[in-house]
Amino acid sequence: MAGGRQQTRIEILKSAAAAFRRRGYHGATVEEIAAALEMNKGNLYYYFRNKEEILFACHQYSLDILLDLLDRVLASPDPPDIRLRTLIGAFVHTILDELHGTALFIDLQPLTPAHLRQVIARRDRFDRGIRQILEDGMEAGLFAPADPKLVAFAMLGAVNWIPRWFDPRGAAPSQEIADAFADFLIAGLRADPIANRPDARRPKTADGLRSL
């Protein structure tokens, strides 16, 4: 029963994310979110008390995915450039395949002060993780010296903007976009110009071929 309830909550979040993306937080209604799932508003209130709580849950759901991966990436023995590629790829997939990125770039102002503090604290943790990988890469001589804070902001800004132009009906799947962004963003960091070929440090598959 608990598993079914959790799955329903996730479906509500996905419906809400789609509505927020189409109409904005203030334009989307609880009725619209519920109707997309063939629910009535009363059923939805069994899972969430109000629209703001849904928005907060969207943020938490997205950040749960990213922070779990961040912990695993930071503990990985892989070199910094490979760890950064993994994190960028997962970030793009979360943006496009989970809640369509809505909760990651939508205005935070609708959140209550208590919810806002929690979301900002968790976003800051993700930002610090990226900076740590950047600093590790600079210390190892893989990345050219730069301000890790500014580089992290540039990367987060680039990926967060994807939902503004991404069309799920387009020809480029999320994996292709994830690879392209990882190629471009990491190439700009390289201390060694020879290593700036887009596929220079892509992880290899088990048969020795570079992953696409």
**Residue ranges of the domains in the chain?**
50-196
Q: What was the pLDDT predicted at 98? A: 76
Q: What is the pTM of this model?
A: 0.81
Mean pLDDT, range 13-21, rounded to an integer: 87
Locate tokens 């950064």: which residue? 84
| Per-residue pLDDT tens digits for 87-112 | 999 888 888 887 765 555 566 889 99
DSSP 212: -
Query: 50-196: what CATH class?
Result: mainly alpha
